[in-house]
Amino acid sequence: MDRTEKREFVSSLAAVFAKTSMVVVARNDGLTVADVTVLRQKMRAAGATYKVAKNRLASLAAKGTPFEGLVPLFVGPTALSWAEDPVAVAKVAVEFAKTNEKFVVLGGALGTQMLDANGVKALADLPSLDTLRAQMVGLISTPATRIAGVLQAPAGQLARVFGAYADKGEAA
């Protein structure tokens, strides 16, 4: 990398740090190209981004952002992951770390809150944003469904009563 490429990398990573809410830091010690490709595909499918970063450049990019507390984690072969949905990026990173011992989650940050590896794992155990939204819609629509059922019940009972009288009248 020459100086202009380094400057561009630092400025693009600083822009990411300025606009994202969650960053996961991992050590990718000895991952094969095939492993990294699989990880990138899983990250992309979850709406996340995965990037291998030089520690010094990542430290420069983090300076002055809410993620400045991550700088001590930038040791050895470092990889950064980020996404709009904090649970999605944590979930993919933790799941991949379970299946590949060369990928180790070191920690992360959710806004200004620094997380250790256990914090990232706890975040990964939460349901995703889409799941939470679906649960909220279900909670909101359940009372409306019950109200509709209650309102329809008297009409159904009246219809059964009228049907019984009609059957009784035909029988007589």
CB atoms within 10 A of CB 52: 13
Which CATH fold topology does 3-126 show? Alpha-Beta Plaits (3.30.70)
CB atoms within 10 A of CB 161: 10
Q: pLDDT digits over 23-56, tens only?
A: 999 998 888 899 999 999 999 998 889 999 888 9
Does this model's pTM top 0.85? My answer is: no
Task: Return the residue matching tokens 């050895």.
Answer: 76
Residue 96, pLDDT > 90, answer: yes
Domain boundaries along the sequence of the chain: 3-126, 127-172
Average pLDDT in the chain: 84
Which tokens in the block code for residue 78?
A: 């470092």
Q: Which of the pair, 133 or 157, is modelled with greater confidence?
A: 133
Among the residue ranges 38-42, 99-103, 104-108, 168-172, the one predicted with the least confidence is 168-172
pLDDT value, residue 68: 87
Which residues have a Cβ under 8 Å from the Cβ of 123 and sit 6 or more positions away?
86, 87, 90, 108, 110, 115
Q: What share of the chain is helix, strand, coil (3-state, %, to 5)?
A: 65, 20, 20
Residue percentage of the chain with pLDDT more than 90: 20
37 vs 46: CA distance, rounded Å: 14
Mean pLDDT of 1-20: 86
Task: Tell me which residue of 134, 68, 135, 120 sits closest to 90, measured CA to CA.
Answer: 120
127 — pLDDT class (breaks 50, 70, 90): confident
67 vs 25: CA distance, rounded Å: 11
